[in-house]
């Protein structure tokens, strides 16, 4: 008879690292998780994997005692968002992202009611800079100003946490207070390629700037030894926290 998975200890330092499974198939994701083993406790599933069987794979990970962050960045009419969030809550995910528009955030808070799901609001994508905001029609607002405005709205609406670049974490913390989560993508170990991210920092810098969780994808999943990279990042986090 198979035994149930051992639960991840509360407050485990490994939970600070969220490994982004930015791969095209469940088979590839499953192989990466197996190679990482107990060095990884928290996984992010975004669009690419979610629409290729990732929702059922999320159930599989949760059944193994892992935590799952569904990075779906929901943004739609209120009722659609509310019911979508309710479905994700039933799945057992730990985190879910929505775009930080007030109507969307209100609907997400309503949809997660009575569950342990935490809603994270995406302020400004870390692939955006001020020029991208001008192109999108947000001028003369800068990325930093828009992050601050949306963080304040998220706080007031009862959102559990904020997704923002680590370079904005200190300012966001001052706005949302000590009880909200700050989750930062755009994390690259020293010497890693920045890729399409425009506002990047190292793992140690991210924690020092006030992030609660760091999202790292390509530097881990594309590594020759993904377990070793994950372990090195967790050591960096632990050194800062010590």
Q: Which residues contact 52 (CB under 8 A, 6 or more apart)?
A: 24, 25, 26
Residue 75 is labelled as binding a ligand:
yes
Which one of 73, 112, 160, 236 is the catalytic residue? 73
Residue 196 is labelled as binding a ligand:
no
Residue 44 is labelled as binding a ligand:
yes
CA separation for the pair 118, 239 (Å, rounded): 27
Q: Which residues contact 183 (CB under 8 A, 6 or more apart)?
A: 18, 69, 95, 120, 161, 162, 163, 211, 212, 213, 214, 215
Residue 153 is labelled as binding a ligand:
no
- With vertex at residue 187, the alpha carbon angle to CA 224 and CA 168, rounded to the nearest 5 degrees, is 180
Residue 3 is labelled as binding a ligand:
no
Residue 179 is labelled as binding a ligand:
no
Residue 218 is labelled as binding a ligand:
yes
15 is catalytic: no
Residue 12 is labelled as binding a ligand:
no
116: its two tokens: 């342990």
225 is catalytic: no
CA distances 207 to 15, 36, 60, 210, 211, Å, are 13, 22, 29, 5, 5
> Residue 133 is inside which H or E element, if any?
helix 130-135
Residue 73 is labelled as binding a ligand:
yes
Residue 217 is labelled as binding a ligand:
yes
Which one of 15, 16, 66, 71 is the catalytic residue? 71
76 is catalytic: yes
Binding site per annotation, positions for substrate: 22, 44, 71-80, 126, 188, 197, 217-218
Q: Which amino acids are annotated as binding site, given as ranges?
A: 22, 44, 71-80, 126, 188, 197, 217-218
Q: Which residues are catalytic?
A: 71, 73, 76
């Amino acid at each position: 008879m198979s035994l149930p998975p051992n639960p991840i200890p509360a407050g485990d330092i490994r939970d600070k690292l969220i490994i982004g499974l930015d791969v095209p198939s469940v088979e590839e994701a499953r192989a990466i998780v197996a190679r990482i083993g107990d060095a990884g406790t928290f996984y992010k599933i975004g669009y690419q994997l979610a629409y290729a069987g990732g929702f059922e794979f999320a159930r599989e990970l949760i059944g193994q005692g892992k935590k799952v962050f569904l990075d779906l960045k929901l943004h739609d009419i209120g009722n659609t968002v509310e019911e979508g969030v309710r479905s994700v809550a039933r799945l057992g995910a730990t985190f879910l992202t929505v775009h930080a528009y007030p109507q969307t955030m209100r609907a997400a808070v309503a949809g997660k009611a009575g569950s342990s799901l935490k809603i994270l609001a995406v302020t400004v994508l870390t692939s955006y800079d001020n020029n991208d905001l001008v192109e999108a029609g947000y001028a003369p607002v800068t990325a930093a100003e828009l992050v601050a405005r949306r963080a304040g709205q998220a706080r007031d609406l009862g959102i559990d946490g904020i997704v923002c670049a680590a370079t904005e974490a200190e300012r966001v913390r001052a706005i949302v207070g000590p009880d909200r989560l700050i989750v930062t993508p755009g994390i690259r170990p020293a010497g890693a390629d920045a890729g399409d991210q425009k506002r990047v920092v190292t793992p140690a810098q991210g924690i020092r700037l006030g992030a609660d969780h760091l999202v790292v994808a390509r530097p881990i999943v594309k590594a020759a030894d993904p377990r070793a990279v994950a372990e090195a990042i967790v050591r960096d986090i632990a050194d800062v926290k010590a």
